[in-house]
Amino acid sequence: MTTCDEPIKLVLADDQTLVLGALVALLSLEPDIEVVGQCSRGDEVVSTVEELCPDVLLLDIEMPGMDGIEVAGRLAEADVKILIVTTFRRPGYLRRAMDAGVAGFLVKDTPASELAQAVRKVHQGGRVIDPALAAESLLDGYNPLTQREQMVLREAESGEPIAVIAKRLSLSAGTVRNHVSSAIAKTNSVNRAQAVAEARRRGWL
């Protein structure tokens, strides 16, 4: 239980309807937690948080419209604690999420009682990180891709020519080609498609 009489106001964001419904149902059973809102798209989260002013945001990563880590970055200055709950055990995701200022990172097989306790802990100013993923993250190393390389790789995922990508990003074709080449080298890949796939697998994008 919290130390005050007011329940913890919680917003949940997940694009999987069944998962979202289950989380809402389970956490609503907690006497000190009040679910005040829910979203199924990443690009709905910021406006929902601004409207409802929750204490804690429980956030998935892979959602349509905007991924959860980008959402967390946009809410970095907001008065809300962010707890990532995702299916993906990717050390790269954990590092990117922590860099974005989240207070916690758990996987979806976390028992409901532990998830509720995690909500309470981040609300009180603590941090909660899946221990196995934290250990793996330490061994796996930091994301070697620069922000510009990540941006170029995301655009390269479309398979469009370098010239088209360069125009979209307002960069020269040579600059885009250099970033792609660097990303290919850093991911030990042979082409940009493989580089994108490897970066996705590691959670670097």
pLDDT on residue 3: 47
pLDDT on residue 137: 65
Tokens 């990508």 belong to residue: 165
pLDDT on residue 52: 96
User: How large is the angle between the packed helices 173-186 and 162-169, nearest 10 degrees?
Assistant: 110
| Residue 183 structure tokens | 């990303």
Q: Please give the C-alpha separations between residue 171 and each of 99, 155, 164, 191, 199, in angstroms, as whole numbers.
A: 26, 12, 10, 20, 22
pLDDT on residue 80: 96
Q: State pTM to two decimals.
A: 0.69
pLDDT tens for each residue of the chain, 205 residues long: 444 578 999 999 999 999 899 999 999 999 999 999 999 999 999 999 999 999 999 999 989 999 999 999 999 889 999 999 988 777 778 888 888 889 999 988 888 889 999 999 999 999 998 877 776 665 565 778 888 999 999 898 888 999 999 998 999 999 999 999 988 988 888 899 999 988 888 778 8
Q: Which domains does the chain have, with CATH numbers?
A: 8-138 (3.40.50.2300), 147-200 (1.10.10.10)
Name which of 198, 27, 22, 19 is nearest 123 in CA terms: 27
pLDDT on residue 138: 59
